[in-house]
């Protein structure tokens, strides 16, 4: 039974001809995205004078619009002189469309549809987080070259994307491109595919740090029952382990009874370690003339340095997350406002270097694979200021205080005390009340937004109405 999604990422080793082919596919994806977005903008302009003019807003409408357009005269034409000397117009459509896999166009249109849907959901309040703006055209010099191909199956059952085909273990077969050599070992994925425990959904090829990478998104079967946590009874409310993330100690884990079950003090901090080299590379890049060969080489060296830093941070986060989910079936993490913390310019670099948000994301899905549970504590829960022994909150506790003191006589490490309070969160979340909002002079409440508030302006004094049934702005069509 396929119950989880996972991705296998490999570094490709293509030939010169294959590199040109990959770059051509990436350019075709960028072209299709821009053309799909141009359909939407053109239709929105026409709709100002003709309200009933349709706008291709969904991914299916954009796919149909692009497939129709690529065969028309607007996509391409040539002038031919016949035998009588008369010039005729011959419609060729998109002349180079047969040189790339057709799925690249469709997936690019799907990406444009997703961007438009995110824009609509952000405006109507259905999408949480920061506000999403209207999609913009992709520029060749500022966009990461990438494209996506779905794994279609032939009538005989053979998949279009194959790994280790024709006896070449380190290879990936892509439709329209052929067999690409892979630098990494593909044994684990090949075993899962041969046993029917996984199937490839699609492949995403990208060009980063002067190297081609492929990410194979697969739908895999559940982990073996031996790797699952033992199920607990419904009445069992214990066994929670609080995970406190910090800068002095990367992770401190403790039970509700105060027992410390894990501590990782030393994080690699690759950004701080390689900051001197990064400065030298950036300074060397600034001295090179743009467009020159030396400038391209300097860009490559700096990009590979950033790529190495990201890989070190990601690898360490995976190691720590795996260690925690393998030994504990119930974890509690706090909902940190990482974006807000980055506003502190004294700690922004250190917070970015440890990767708190990515680490929490790894914990959630890895624990779900093993049948465990991860609870997120409220953002306003004072885990660092609350005494885990008597429950008294010390409002004078500052970030510089590394040892927690309480009038009851309790004394403990700040991170250890916070981990204990997080372990107690599932049993006290029903009685916890959020902190008052000092700016509002009272507790935080959800106030209904007034009609027409926070809308993007179409013209002077004009707002955009939203269709309640289609959840698409009325100026954007269905």
pLDDT in tens, 315-349: 999 999 999 999 999 999 998 888 888 888 888 99
Average pLDDT, whole number, for the chain? 86
Judge whether residue 467 has pLDDT over 70. no
- Domains in the chain with CATH codes: 2-222 (no CATH), 238-270+309-441 (3.30.420)
Judge whether residue 477 has pLDDT over 60. no
Asked if 61 and 73 touch (Cβ cutoff 8 Å), the reply is: no
Q: Which two tokens stand for residue 51?
A: 């309200």
pLDDT in tens, 263-284: 998 889 999 999 999 999 999 9
**Higher-confidence residue: 466 or 375?**
375
Judge whether residue 172 has pLDDT over 90. yes
pLDDT in tens, 2-30: 678 999 999 999 999 999 999 999 999 99
């Amino acid at each position: 039974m396929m119950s989880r999604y996972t991705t296998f990422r490999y570094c490709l080793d293509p030939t010169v001809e294959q590199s040109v082919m990959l770059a051509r596919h990436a350019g075709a994806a960028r072209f299709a995205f821009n053309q799909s977005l141009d359909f939407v903008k053109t239709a929105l302009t026409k709709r100002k004078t003709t309200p009933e003019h349709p706008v291709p807003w969904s991914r299916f409408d954009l796919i149909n619009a692009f497939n129709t357009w690529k065969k028309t005269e607007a996509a391409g034409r040539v002038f031919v002189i016949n035998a009588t000397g008369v010039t005729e117009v011959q419609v060729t459509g998109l002349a180079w469309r047969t040189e790339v896999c057709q799925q690249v166009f469709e997936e690019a249109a799907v990406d444009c549809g997703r961007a438009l849907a995110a824009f609509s959901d952000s405006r109507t309040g259905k999408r949480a987080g920061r506000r999403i703006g209207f999609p913009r055209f992709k520029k060749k010099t500022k966009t990461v070259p990438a494209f996506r191909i779905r794994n279609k199956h032939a009538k005989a059952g053979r998949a279009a994307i194959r790994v280790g085909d024709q006896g070449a273990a380190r290879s990936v077969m892509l439709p329209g491109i052929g067999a690409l050599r892979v630098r990494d070992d593909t044994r684990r994925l090949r075993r899962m595919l041969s046993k029917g425990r996984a199937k490839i959904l699609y492949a995403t090829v990208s060009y980063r740090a002067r190297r081609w990478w492929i990410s194979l998104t697969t739908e895999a079967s559940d982990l073996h029952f031996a790797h699952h946590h033992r199920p607990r009874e419904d009445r069992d409310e214990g066994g929670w382990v609080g995970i406190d993330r910090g800068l002095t100690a990367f992770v401190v884990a403790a039970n509700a009874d105060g027992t410390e079950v894990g501590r990782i003090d030393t994080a690699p901090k690759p950004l701080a370690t390689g900051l001197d080299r990064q400065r030298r590379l950036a300074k060397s890049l600034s001295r090179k003339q743009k467009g020159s060969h030396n400038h391209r080489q300097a860009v490559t060296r700096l990009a590979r340095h950033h790529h190495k830093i990201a890989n070190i941070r990601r690898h360490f986060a995976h190691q720590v997350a795996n260690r925690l989910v393998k030994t504990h079936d119930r974890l509690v993490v706090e909902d940190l406002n990482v974006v807000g913390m980055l506003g502190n310019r004294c700690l922004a670099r250190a917070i970015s270097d440890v990767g708190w948000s990515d680490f929490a994301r790894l914990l959630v899905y890895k624990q779900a694979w093993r049948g465990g549970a991860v609870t997120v504590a409220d953002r306003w829960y004072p885990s660092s200021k609350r005494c885990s022994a008597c429950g008294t909150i010390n409002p004078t506790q500052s970030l510089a205080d590394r040892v927690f003191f309480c009038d009851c006589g309790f004394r403990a490490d700040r991170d250890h005390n916070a981990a204990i309070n997080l372990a107690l969160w599932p049993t006290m979340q029903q009685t916890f009340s959020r902190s008052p909002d000092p700016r509002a002079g009272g507790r935080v409440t959800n106030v209904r937004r007034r009609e027409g508030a926070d809308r993007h302006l179409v013209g002077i004094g004009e707002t955009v109405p939203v269709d309640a049934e289609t959840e698409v702005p009325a100026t954007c069509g269905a």
